[in-house]
Amino acid sequence: MRFTDKVVVVTGAAQGIGAVVAHQVAAEGGTVVLADRSQLVTEVAAGIAAGGAASRHHLCDLETYAGASELMAYAVAEFGRIDILINNVGGTIWAKPFEHYEAEEIEAEVRRSLFPTLWCCRAALPHMVERGAGVIVNISSIATRSRNRVPHAASKGGVNALTASLAFEAASKGIRVVATAPGGTEAPPRKVPRNPHEQSAQEALWYQEIVDQTTESTLFKRYGTLAEQAAPILFMASDDASYITGTVLPVGGGDQG
């Protein structure tokens, strides 16, 4: 029950790692605010509520500062504070060599995998500073060193830099800022795909290169599970990690990213 009496905001909570983290926070006594721009988040919230935990959900676009600000204001209005923020929005949209990316695709990748974390940190921070306490857990990626997804890698590199730099500023205010960097993760097919368009034969080959490289880069030669990714996130968010800040923890089966 590591999250008893804690108000925890989880972004990207409609599916995948975010949904698993939200369920586990609730199972360990936390009050959860689930955020996503997909209506699927209502199903996750309903499942948590059915288990008897206190939860709310909020539909918002976290690629904008307005969306992030609305989310944090909603959490504070509902529960009076934000103890923990888990920034889980992000993910590769396209997989191809950098010279094949269009300018608008590069911008879309950065908006997806850097700005939600940047905006949510900025929006949540004043509430935490006012209370003199808080934890921010950013979800990065070991894909900062990988092939066929340079814009995503650059975005997650930005998340790593944000984590390290903000930790310097926030420590004296009673706030920890940490991150985990997941590797390849086995998960059910996404109900809302990041790229809604069917892959061409060439795009499928480029994506397979990512799969092959990811598997070969791990010492275990396999993808991780959702539970294996959620557990380190929960640890970093909890008081068990009270003397850890500014750290990006690789969770890639030995691949350091």
Summarised one tens digit per residue, pLDDT across range 143-183 is 999 999 999 999 999 999 999 999 999 999 999 999 999 99
Rounded to an integer, the average pLDDT of 114-126 is 98
C-alpha distance from residue 72 to each of 20, 91, 140, 170 (Å): 21, 22, 21, 18
Query: Does residue 255 lie within any of the structural domains?
Result: no
User: Which domain range does residue 62 map to?
Assistant: 7-249
> Tell me, what's the pLDDT at 189?
77
Query: Does residue 257 lie within any of the structural domains?
Result: no
Structural domain count of the chain: 1
> Tell me, what's the pLDDT at 193?
67
Query: Does residue 254 lie within any of the structural domains?
Result: no
Query: Does residue 230 lie within any of the structural domains?
Result: yes
Q: Mean pLDDT in the chain?
A: 95
Summarised one tens digit per residue, pLDDT across range 10-55 is 999 999 999 999 999 999 999 999 999 999 999 999 999 999 998 9
Query: Does residue 1 lie within any of the structural domains?
Result: no
Query: Does residue 256 lie within any of the structural domains?
Result: no
CATH number, domain of 195, equals 3.40.50.720
Name which of 81, 180, 68, 88 is nearest 129 in CA terms. Answer: 81
Q: Where are the alpha helices (DSSP H) in 80-149?
A: 103-113, 115-131
Query: Does residue 113 lie within any of the structural domains?
Result: yes
* pTM confidence score: 0.95
